[in-house]
Amino acid sequence: MLTIIEKVIFLQDVDVFAEITTEQLSHIAAITEEIEFEPGTTILERDEPGEALYLVLEGKVRLHRDGREILVAEEKGIFGSWALFDNEQPNIATATALEPTRVLKIDREEFYEVVADYVEITQGIFKWLARRVRQVGEKIIKVEKEDAS
């Protein structure tokens, strides 16, 4: 099992937490739960309520929907992230461990308690969300330009 310091070091390299200080990450690290899954284990079920974000420590997790692979999350990959921000929508995909896998799980309710106490974490997450939305917008513009050519 990882120590809080080891969790902080890991979290520093995860995109969603890139804008958050080491001190603030220690609060997030304190609420993470380390979980191991055997190959073939379903971690998230499509259309079930999303309740947590998962970060892959080691192993591989396949996200799939209707038999089609959406992506494979590997070390430092994340899935279930929208569960932290939107408790109205169910999971959009099923997540299945492809090999022995260890993850850090961040429960939505515990995450809300931490961000309520530390506005800097909320600000860092907003910066990440804004960057992601901007990247999607840039991809759309690029595709539109290519289609117009």
For residue 104 the two structure tokens come to 């850090």
Please name the residues in contact with 16: beta carbons below 8 A apart, sequence gap of 6 or more.
Answer: 53, 78, 81, 125, 128
Structural domain tally of the chain? 1
Reported as a single tens digit per residue, the pLDDT across 51-70 is 999 999 999 999 999 989 99
Reported as a single tens digit per residue, the pLDDT across 105-147 is 999 999 999 989 988 888 888 888 888 888 878 888 887 888 8
Domain that includes residue 91, residue range: 4-148
Stated pTM of the model: 0.84
- CATH number, domain of 127, equals 2.60.120.10
E-only strand ranges, the chain: 33-37, 42-44, 52-58, 61-65, 68-73, 78-79, 94-97, 101-107
**At 128, phi and psi to the nearest 5?**
-65, -45
Angle, vertex CA 13, rays to CA 12 and CA 17, nearest 5 = 55
Reported as a single tens digit per residue, the pLDDT across 58-113 is 999 999 999 899 999 999 999 987 777 777 788 889 999 999 999 999 999 999 99
Q: What is the DSSP letter of 104?
A: E
**At 105, phi and psi to the nearest 5?**
-110, 135
